[in-house]
Structure 1
Amino acid sequence: MTNKPTNCLLGGALGDSLGYPVEFSSYREIQQNNPIGITFINFSEPVLISDDTQMSLFTASALLISDNYLTNLWDCYQDWLETQWKTDKQSMSHKPVSKLVDFQELFNSREPGRTCLMTLAQQKPGSLQHPINNSKGCGGIMRVAPIGLIDEDENIIAQLGAESSALTHGHPLSSLSSAYLAVLIHRLLTSNISPQLVLDTLNFIKSKFSTMDYLSDFTEIIKLATNLSQPTDNDFINFQRLGKGWVAEETLAIALYCSLKYQKDPCRAIEISVNHDGDSDSTGSITGQIVGVQQSNSLWLPVSYLNKLELRDVIISLGKKLSQKFNT
């Protein structure tokens, strides 16, 4: 039986790989090749992960090392940085921390976010108290989901989610979005998504980060996503109201919308989440993580597509290790 952490990681990889080839395509361009949009069935590209799954795996790897989570995250992200421009483990400029560098397939540059590359290359982490920049690009939130799988108090999970994002992205909306996703993933280990759960998690984040700037903007878009998920206009119209997903709060909002509206069909939720004008691999990845973590077996997975997924066995192995360490 596939455990929930594994399903979370697999779901993220499924959404990421499905959206990766059309990340920079408009919905009209997507439809030129597939009138009904891109799906797991009509997908004809190699099933490759992008930087979203790569960094999520390095997050998971960091959480397995020890309890000094934030330091380990930074060190593992430094390992990831080297995989983007070095050819193999032997050519790395420092002694690696993560065992993921043993897998040659990870030494591939897959449209890495410029903010992640630049801030990690400076080798000076940002923090909530001392923001390194003013970026709210989705590079902070797209890697944070594994934090929700650790066996810690929600306050610790929320704080770590926010701080992990602040390592590279200094805007409050990036930290708020990342903290929210980490807590939501943690809650979905024992619950199913619902409008009430989404709003309860919002209230928790508002209470914990009550003095953080842009809290009202964050509240507004989460509530909008929740309201739009109730059957009204078509998805494309709703996506235009939520944004394109290039920034953290829009990525999260699109993922919440799809996860709520299509909660009874997790694969369809992922498919819908990549068919729009914006950052398809990131919205697909986070949607996949949200719908995946709610699944306690493998029956929901698109088997023929999954069999072609790059690094599938590595992802499954990491999920099992997370489950064993944190009893999830």
Structure 2
Amino acid sequence: MPATSDATTEATAEPRTWSREPLQDYRAKVRGCLLGGAIGDALGAPVEFSSLATIRATYGPVGVTDLEPLGGSDGRRGLVTDDTQMTLFTAEGIIRASIRWDRGVCHPPSVVYRALLRWLATQEQSSPPPDASGWLARQSWLYAQRAPGNACLSGLRSGRMGTLAEPVNPDSKGCGAVMRSAPFGLLPPIPRFGVRAAFDFAVECAVQTHGHPTGYLAAGAFAALVRLLVAGTPLPAAVNDVLTLLADHDGHEETSAALRAAVAASTDQAPTPETVEALGAGWVAEEALAIGVYAALAHPGPADVRRALLLAVNHSGDTDSTGSICGNLLGALHGETALPSDWVAEVEGRGTILELADDFALEFTRQSELHGDYGPHTRWTTRYPGA
């Protein structure tokens, strides 16, 4: 994967030379980010499209307090949606891009685009095909269709890969790009994988489905936030750093204003659903990002993750996306052990999510032992083919 010229105060050593404790911390944050996002997604999915009044009438005056059955699921709780599905395929695409880069020829956004096409196949088929590429596309539970976003579907069905010069869906700023962009921030906290690199990578892949500047800049901002949290930056400082980064990009105004509103709400107002709703509904990118960031800022401590996630999903709007963004952020900040154990135990696909998270951490800390012209030949490239 390409280097970056970012100035940074992070450790300059490559992961291969890290001591045991930083390696364990990095893997815990990758796990926490992917698993936390899935939990937030599962919490919000049953109440997506419901008004706050309906949520309170159905679940009580404080709204949702636990995982609930998803409509049409035969009473099953903890089910995830396209937010988690697309996030997982994005992470898989980044792993494959790293493997291809190690061979010397790679355009990483193109590799992620093909990963998203594999996700698209899960929405058009009922089960894995015999020729499914890689182990992730063979997971039958990922072939559930749960209200995938129209811009994601139309963008990937367009027959071409969007670029910054010629984005797909140039008028779309829905949240379908931001909600899948956490993995771009999970590259290890070393200078050659800098904050700007995470931002730019997410932007280049967001325009494959969402071409409005707010749609893709919010995705870049989210990836940069995750990248800073993985490196140990406190959340308020990370938001300030991202606002500085956004200011260098044309069309940043909506995203920057939404993040500033989230910061102001977290310091000036009580953490209530009404405060969340003042930030929007989450259907568009900047509002989804702002709500997820606000809920995390309102309850930032490792003992407060449950309260943060519930705040993120008790509102009228795109509750699974705002829940997943909040979960990604706090999981990246605190690691997997801060996530509520009862929800971890019940969330759909936990084994697959953790397996992919561990593979991601392995690829970016031990790749010389897994593949490459000068390393041993393993079955890694069978697991992640196309290298």
Question: TM-score per shorter chain, which class?
Answer: over 0.9
Deviation larger for 256-265 or 64-73: 64-73
Q: CA deviation at 1:159?
A: 0.8
Runs of at least 4 residues off by over 6 Å: 41-44
Match of 1:38 among 50, 64, 76: 64
What residue number does 2:94 align with? 63
Taking structure 1 as the reference length, what is the TM-score of the superposition?
0.92
Partner of 1:255: 292
1:234/1:262 Cα in 2 relative to 1: closer, same or farther (>3 Å)?
closer
Choose which of 144, 152, 177 in structure 2 pairs with 1:108. Answer: 144
Deviates more, 1:196-205 or 1:165-174: 196-205
- Cα deviation 1:157-208 (Å, max 9, x = unaligned): 111111111011000001110111111101101225333321122102222x
* Paired residue type of 1:121: R
1:293 to 329, 332, 348: 332
For 1:204 and 1:98, locate their aligned partners in 2 and report how far apart those are by CA, in whole Å: 36
Task: Report the equivalent of 1:162.
Answer: 203
What letter is aligned with 1:83?
A: T
Q: What's the offset of the Cα at 1:297?
A: 4.8
Distance (whole Å) between structure 1 residues aligned to residue 208 and residue 290 of structure 2: 22
- 1:311/1:42 Cα in 2 relative to 1: closer, same or farther (>3 Å)? closer
Note the 1:315-326 alignment, pairs <5 A: 315-326=353-364
Q: Could you say if the C-alpha distance between residues 268 and 192 of structure 1 is closer, same or farther in structure 2, counting changes exceeding 3 Å?
A: farther
Could you tell me the percent identity over the aligned residues?
34
Using the TM superposition, name which of 260-269 and 274-283 deviates more: 260-269
Aligned to 1:53: 84
Encode CA deviations 1:205-261: one digit per residue, 9 max, x unaligned: 222x2xx22x22222211111011014245223223211000000000001111111
**Contact 2:31–2:336 (8 Å) recurs in 1:** no
In 2: Cα distance, 1:189 partner to 1:178 partner: 17
Unaligned runs of 5+ in 2: 1-23, 70-74, 99-105, 367-387
What amino acid is aligned across from residue 39 of structure 2 in structure 1? L
CA–CA distance in structure 1, aligned partners of residues 326 and 127 of structure 2:
31
| Deviation for aligned residue 1:304 | 2.3
Backbone CA RMSD of aligned residues: 1.9
Letter in 2 for 1:249: E
Equivalent position to 1:150, from 187, 192, 196: 187
CA distance in 1 between counterparts of 2:114 and 2:235 reads 36
Q: Please list every run of 5 or more consecutive structure 1 residues that lacks an aligned counterpart in the other structure.
A: none
In 1, the alpha carbon distance for the partners of 2:33 and 2:223 equals 12
- TM-score, normalising length from structure 2? 0.79
The answer on whether the counterparts of 1:193 and 1:263 sit within 8 Å (CA) in structure 2 is no
Identify which of 178, 194, 205 aligns with 1:141: 178
CA contact (8 A) 1:242 1:250 kept: yes
| Partner AA of 1:254 in structure 2 | I
Query: Does residue 342 of structure 2 align to residue 311 of structure 1?
Result: no
Task: Report deviation, 1:98.
Answer: 4.2
* Map of 2:121 onto structure 1: 82
Which protein has the larger Cα radius of gyration, Structure 1 or Structure 2? 2
Q: Distance between the aligned counterparts of 2:335 and 2:81, measured in 1?
A: 25
Letter of the 1:166 partner, please give it.
V
Question: Match for residue 34 of structure 2?
Answer: 9
Partner residue in 1 for 2:246: 205
For the residue of structure 2 that corresponds to 1:159, the secondary structure is helix
The partner residue of 2:226 within 165, 185, 191 is: 185
> For residue 293 of structure 1, what is the amino acid of its counterpart?
A
| Structure 1 counterpart of 2:354, one-letter code | I
Evaluate the alpha carbon distance shift between residue 322 and residue 128 of structure 1 in structure 2; reply closer, same or farther with a 3 A threshold.
same
Instruction: Please give the alpha-carbon distance, in whole angstroms, between the structure 2 residues aligned to 1:125 and 1:313.
Output: 31
Could you tell me whether the CA contact under 8 Å between 2:43 and 2:67 is conserved in 1?
Answer: no
Structure 2 CA distance for aligned equivalents of residues 297 and 155 of structure 1: 25
The CA distance in 1 between the partners of 2:133 and 2:94, in whole Å, is: 12
**Partner SS state of residue 91, structure 2:** helix
